[in-house]
Structure 1
Amino acid sequence: MVKRVLQYSFSLLNVDYVQLTSSWNYRNVLSPYYRIYYINEGQGEISDFNRTVKLEPGYLYIIPSFTMCNLCCKNVLGQYFVQFFEQSSHGISMFANKRAVLRLKASDVDVQLFKRLLEINPGRGINRSDNPKVYEKEIYYDEYQQLNNKQSLAIYIETQGILMQLVSRFLQLDTSASPNEHVIPIKIIESLNYILANLQLPLSVSKLATMVHQNVDYFSRQFKLYTGLRPIAYINEKRIERAQYLMATSRMSLSEICDQTGFEHLSYFSNTFKKLTGISPSDYKKQLQSVRF
């Protein structure tokens, strides 16, 4: 019998039902957490780099973490939503290769799950503003984490279960993968864990390959086979994700964040950040800090 260990967990931020108007119109939204929507009336749009997705009644939508998108409601939009952080034991997001808006037809069970999530997590709406530039602040994250810490074990486990069920619906959209496609060799897992634990340190392909006793070229090919990226590209991507998280949850300067994420020079950090996100770190930080509480 093959023993499988659940390697993912979630940290709830917000869950609520809202009726939005044309004021819900925001561009270049890039968040370190997930969003899932269920629409029950009206229309809207979410657009990313590749396409525009219509928000329509009867459908579920997911926006994975660190997915740049635009949010738009032209008239009225009835929306159930939940926002949450993802944690994984190996540092690989479930949607690492799907940083795009996904949608599917909602079932009656999906709707009941949203309603139950609201029932057991009251007062978790965004009461200050529906503008991501306003509510994505360190003090807000702290507030919601305190609420999570106060959850009973029963509510915590039920919340995890509901989020797992909702997320699993979107994982089922990819039917092309074989059952063993995402089984990653232990040496690659060890490398991923080392990278994520040491992003602030100098990291090289030769050092990573030596740690797992492999030839540099072979290690690099294997790494790309199982992660989709060459080691340096993966390191840079994770460093930028960590930088985004630090910008969203701390008051560090860009120089401090540059040091904390292992970049030798601020200019290289800035160029890499813009290359991967489409926006400069200073502009991203201004977006997050444009309104202070």
Structure 2
Amino acid sequence: MEQGQLQIMRSYLDNVQMTLDTVHYTKVGTNWRYRFENPEENRFYFIREGSGWIRLRGRLHHPKPGELLLLPAGAKLELGLCSEEERFGKYWCHFGAKVGDVHLFQMLDLPFSIRVGDEDWLERQFRALEALYRSPSLTAPLRIKSVLLELVSYYMEEALRQQDSQSIALAPSAAEGKITAVLHYIDTHLSEGITVEELARQMHFHPNYFMPYFKTMMGLSPIAYITRKRMDKAKVLLRDTEVPVTEVAEAVGLELAYFSRLFKKQTALSPTQYRRNARGPRTEASSVSVPD
């Protein structure tokens, strides 16, 4: 995977918002057959028993017990049984995964099924998700997001690991291609004074249209996104290199005084304190730093 594509996909994942619509275990009925032209939600199906068929984007698949399927929002979907005697039994959930107003899995090109290595672990995740879905606990929504993120992370990692699965890649659609080009431009020009006007020109948009478009796609304004990327790069340089703070500021396109103020505002630590904490011995006494 190219480094530029990796950084862009990490940006998408950094801004993704997860929501759960519903989760259950079901042994489907004898009349289980559906067709969705443009589903609004993503689906996870963890097949535990039986047989059936699923056609996604015109491609037919016959899932087997032990497979986990990711059926993305916006993709034409048909599904049904092979026989009434061998009905599917499956854990399933409908969930949202969006970057701004755009579905995550319309931006990433993923295989739509993987083989599950540890089926007991995955079953526990779905059971936990179902229990949280029904829980009146104050913190249940947070724990739901945590489990959903774990499931999506597991799916993507297994898709990369399994040799006969296609690689994860950026989706080739024109809309996502435009924002991908802008994110790549930002990543490769962080040491310069990037302006909204420059970014808008990359897409041949008027700045007044580009700004709401970018926020819709990424969930942040262009300036907020650039600031986040600059601070992320600064943290890496402070943690992993001996580059002086002055040169770190230059590497992220900021004057030293402004960089120091902005970094402390973002992290509650000065650049020097951050470097010292990141490299210091991990003891209780030395890991606590008081901002100056």
Report the TM-score range of the alignment, normalised by the length of the smaller protein.
0.3 to 0.5
Larger Rg over CA atoms: 2
Structure with more contact order per residue of length (Cα contacts < 8 Å, sep ≥ 6): 1
Q: TM-score, normalised by structure 1?
A: 0.47
